[in-house]
Structure 1
């Protein structure tokens, strides 16, 4: 393995989205990620969304570069194997219900005594403390309680959701940030491992900008506003003559003036009332109507060409077909070609971020259940006979 995280050992005890996505990001940059899955069905995401010959296409993406080790954690022998894996690991990433690992004998006190350098990343709905900590929490609930659902949707309409698992993914990103900060501290000799406590609710809430002080000081409640950004003008979504949608962000002072020139309304651009954002925000409906009148009279290509020439930030709202065909995505290696176990070729998303000297890489797609069980157990010093005995005792499942 290569990458900036080469030599970092990660054990993942998680399922579905939050913990597995965090571990995937680490695996893409060279960490050795050992994913512990239950025998039988494994991670439920293997059957989520669209399937190809019985396996989720999301699985192949979410679990790339990981080693699948299938352990029956109800077995004392499997718990012993988990402890041996964690004895020299840098990170444990889990998203079980708070207290679940403690019931298995894998709580923080036990693991910290076993391996003082270990960082334990715990992702849950509400965090490891507080009155709600024992409630079940999925990403959707985190989005609801974190504030983003209320502000998403058309004005006066029902609160909407983004079309992806945003709450889980935000928790994953916060988990990776916390994990790397803790590991760096250990590697620099500044302390031992620690618990990184990540809440789905708090991960969403952390994105909510000035929501709280606006409410506390001004009594202002941010409402749903469709494609617009209240208090920032102009920034909205507009339809074009040929039925496409374009997002235009003309909200800085000089960009606004250039935008007004493009749409044939220099009078608005030169109006002192609109010279600063607060003045424009007060009459955003008037400005939006002027922009919409121009976009609706022109096709999407003409709109984008005119705005690009004037250096006004704008972008067409892409369908997935637009993403896959886009030359910029391709030039940035954001559309990769993957080979599934049956030899079928399929496009997959590339890797973010781009590192100039130690870039991430895809070494293999999501593995079959238990594909690496024997390999990983052998690395712990177990011989073939011992591994087979564990399989016969249903402590492990071999791939």
Structure 2
């Protein structure tokens, strides 16, 4: 891709697993050139997560797309200089090692901006670069628990549960890509190097807008409520007669009155405010559940949509891939990998734009596939020098 809005931006991805690599992948979908640094022996641990396809994680086809792979052993004493030579020709470095690890590898912000004075670094770490927990290890599930999401997820009176996907990685990956764009904008305005310090838990905490402000007013933490919404009723998952599940949130007054009409439940009209509906939640949720349970999903969906009610099925992966709207929008695409001799279904770049498109311009790389060409192009090394680095275990 050469005409995306980030065309001409080069990203050095010195991160592993999910949040950091997702951030660089998002930048790559809109034109940035992404070079991924991996360990020579194993590569990114995400390459090895089951299910495996030909010995490589199926998920790697998505996480590694639009990237070139360069192998460098960051533990080797000569690795820091090599990363610095690449950083000298890079706009953005994305990393997610602990702060102490970056210092030990000698590839921290101050080290790398010595090679490029206007460098942008996006540093994702469990707890951020400052504060008493700065060098604690952490992954998405730890961040979700720390930020309070896990505390409020689950059924009342039951143990907390994780969300169905490690959402901290996804939310923070998106936020880190956003932070990269903010930092690039500031760099372009000032000509100065920029460091974006993103703690894995912070975007998630920011996303839960009601959690802290409600506590500040009530003095109580929002407890687990299952699928119920603390601010809206009815708002739940309801089982249909044919065993499917329906998401039905009456989030506005207009939606509530439409639902009352479709249910032919004029007696419920007495609950004419959200406060009243929350006070009578048990009655309302039970009535809606009985109504949904009396219908099969598809005819009920037609009836609700005809009435202008927001509702939707709880989709499996199979449902998503077969859905006509998903297919019409191109939200899931088939990407061919000629080297693997097969194609993969995967999520497309999100969003549709008037002046440009997101793009999957290259399949996920084989480990170290581009080491030689990148070291030649950016580090200015020749064949014998690269061979020497390989002999000494640097790459």
TM bucket, shorter chain: over 0.9
Counterpart of 2:68 in structure 1 is 67
Counterpart of 1:349 in structure 2 is 347
3-state SS of the aligned residue for 1:126?
coil
- Retained in 1: the 8 A contact 2:72–2:79? yes
Whole-angstrom CA distance in 2 between matches of 1:65 and 1:81:
22
Question: For 1:224-243, what aligned pairs fall within 5 Å after superposition?
Answer: 224-243=224-243
- Retained in 1: the 8 A contact 2:187–2:194? no
Which segment drifts farther, 379-388 or 114-123?
A: 379-388
Whole-angstrom CA distance in 2 between matches of 1:213 and 1:357:
39
Counterpart of 1:287 in structure 2 is 284
3-state SS of the aligned residue for 1:99?
helix
For this pair of structures, how many residues does the alignment match?
A: 392
Question: For 1:377-392, what aligned pairs fall within 5 Å after superposition?
Answer: 377-380=375-378, 381-392=380-391
Which segment drifts farther, 94-103 or 315-324?
A: 94-103
3-state SS of the aligned residue for 1:67?
strand
Whole-angstrom CA distance in 2 between matches of 1:191 and 1:312:
51
1:318 matched to 2:319? The reply is no
Unpaired runs of 5+ residues, structure 1, are: none
Whole-angstrom CA distance in 1 between matches of 2:96 and 2:77:
21
Select which of 258, 269, 274 maps to 1:277. 274
Whole-angstrom CA distance in 2 between matches of 1:303 and 1:228:
21
- Retained in 2: the 8 A contact 1:183–1:193? no
Whole-angstrom CA distance in 2 between matches of 1:277 and 1:55:
51
Question: For 1:98-137, what aligned pairs fall within 5 Å after superposition?
Answer: 98-137=99-138
- Retained in 2: the 8 A contact 1:257–1:266? no
- Retained in 1: the 8 A contact 2:232–2:250? no
TM-score by length of 2: 0.96
Counterpart of 1:213 in structure 2 is 213
Please state how far the C-alpha of 1:30 moved relative to its aligned partner. 0.9
Q: Deviations along 1:6-52, whole A, 9 cap, x unmatched?
A: 00011111111111111111111111111100111111110013110
Counterpart of 2:251 in structure 1 is 251
Please state how far the C-alpha of 1:191 moved relative to its aligned partner. 4.2
3-state SS of the aligned residue for 1:93?
strand
Counterpart of 1:147 in structure 2 is 148
Q: Deviations along 1:166-203, whole A, 9 cap, x unmatched?
A: 1111111121111100101222x334121111111212
Whole-angstrom CA distance in 2 between matches of 1:346 and 1:106:
35
Whole-angstrom CA distance in 2 between matches of 1:334 and 1:322:
13
Question: For 1:7-46, what aligned pairs fall within 5 Å after superposition?
Answer: 7-46=8-47
3-state SS of the aligned residue for 2:335?
strand
Q: Deviations along 1:227-267, whole A, 9 cap, x unmatched?
A: 11022112111111111110111121111011011111022
Select which of 371, 374, 379 maps to 1:373. 371
Whole-angstrom CA distance in 2 between matches of 1:279 and 1:256:
12
Which segment drifts farther, 107-116 or 171-180?
A: 107-116
Whole-angstrom CA distance in 1 between matches of 2:45 and 2:301:
43
Which segment drifts farther, 116-125 or 207-216?
A: 207-216
Whole-angstrom CA distance in 1 between matches of 2:114 and 2:384:
31
Q: Deviations along 1:128-159, whole A, 9 cap, x unmatched?
A: 01111111111100000101001111222211
Unpaired runs of 5+ residues, structure 2, are: none
3-state SS of the aligned residue for 2:151?
coil
3-state SS of the aligned residue for 1:210?
helix
Counterpart of 1:395 in structure 2 is 394
Counterpart of 1:193 in structure 2 is 193
What is the alpha-carbon root mean square deviation over aligned residues? 1.3
